[in-house]
Amino acid sequence: MNKTNIEWCDYTYNPVTGCLMRCGYCYAKSRTVRFQGYEQNGEITVHNPHSGLAVLEEPLRTKDRFDNTRIAPFPYGFDPTFYKYRLNYPAKHRTPRTVFVCSMGDLFGPWVLDEVIEAVFESCKTAPWHQYMFLTKNPGRYMELVAAGKLLAGDNIWYGSTVTGLESSFFVTERYNIFLSMEPLLGPLNPIDIAQRGIKLVIMGAETGSAKDKIQPERAWIENVVSSCRADGISVFMKDSLKPFWDGDFMRELPWKEKM
């Protein structure tokens, strides 16, 4: 696991990385490209010999800028990859943390087998003292796992859906801890949508990066979300990227912090 600057968590844990959705604003892809590649026959390559989800039993190696050998963090770039050797990482950290699982990919994409998702769940179960945050742009997969009796439940488990505008779908249930990640906020949202039963937290943020055509959220979009959350007792966490667009009280509410 790695310490992170993401404001709403302490660590990231990436037993699976990569995604096939190719969103234009994806921060994970741009970061992966910076650190992609592994050493093979004296050369640095990103060649992926696997078909489908790549599975690594042991780490591959690469060279840093000082020519030192180190573990390759993303040997195949943004190709979906399962690092089986990372499954013991949560248990190595004994201090309770809030952990964002698979921040550099989408664990619930259709290219990830149920068995792989279950293996990640099992690794989380070995360290129940952590708070685990899952996030996907494929919330229908949550429902498939619920129907199959495979979705991990627990007070320390949170399932999030990325919601960027009116067309976004998300996972709603009262059985699990549910949150919405409105990052980047790319358009107005219907307040009725976020007031459905089961949602306990909304995380909001603006599009970041150097793109010249990035969308800047309007105050009205933010205000509508905040008003709806306030009316229904939903916690709101605003990321720093919203500060230029919001002059009201800056909210940093995390419902599990109240329990700890």
- Taking the CA of residue 73 as centre, how many other CA atoms within 13 Å lie in the half-sphere pointing to its CB? 15
List, as one string, the DSSP characters of 55-66: EESS--EEE-TT
More confident residue, 236 or 165: 236
pLDDT at 211 over 80: no
pLDDT at residue 119 is higher than 70: yes
Torsion of CA 106, 209, 11, 176, to 10 degrees: -50
- Rg for the chain, CA atoms, rounded: 19
pLDDT for 166 = 62
Phi-psi group of 257: left, alpha or beta (phi > 0 → left; psi -120 to 50 → alpha; rest → beta)? alpha
User: In which band, very low, low, confident or very high, does the pLDDT at 260 lie, cut at 50, 70 and 90?
Assistant: very low
Q: What pLDDT shows up at residue 48?
A: 93
Please count the CA atoms within 13 angstroms of the CA of 24 that sit on its side-chain side. Answer: 9
Higher pLDDT among residues 90 and 225, named by residue: 90
* % of residues, the chain, pLDDT over 70: 93
The strand pairing partners of 63, in sequence order, are: 69
* C-alpha to C-alpha distance for 163 and 122, rounded to whole angstroms: 27
- Tens digit of each residue's pLDDT (9 = 90 or more) over 45-62: 999 999 889 999 999 999
Please tell us whether the domain made up of 2-13+85-258 is placed in CATH 1.10.10. no
Is the Cβ–Cβ distance between 100 and 11 less than 8 Å?
yes
User: Any idea where the domains of the chain sit in the sequence?
Assistant: 2-13+85-258
Q: What is the spatial distance between Cα 104 and Cα 21, in angstroms, rounded to a whole number?
A: 13
Q: How confident is the model at residue 195 (pLDDT cuts 50, 70, 90)?
A: low
pLDDT band at 258 (very low <50, low <70, confident <90, very high): low
Burial of 258 by CB count in 10 Å (0-12 exposed, 13-18 middle, 19+ buried)? exposed
Question: Tens digits of per-residue pLDDT, 142-161?
Answer: 999 999 999 999 999 999 99
How far apart CA 242 and CA 249 sit, in angstroms, is 12
DSSP 94-111: -S--EEEETTTB-TTSTT
Answering whether pTM is above 0.75, one says yes
Cα–Cα distance between 243 and 239 in angstroms, integer?
A: 8
Please give the mean pLDDT across all residues of the chain: 89
> What is residue 79's predicted lDDT score, i.e. its pLDDT?
94
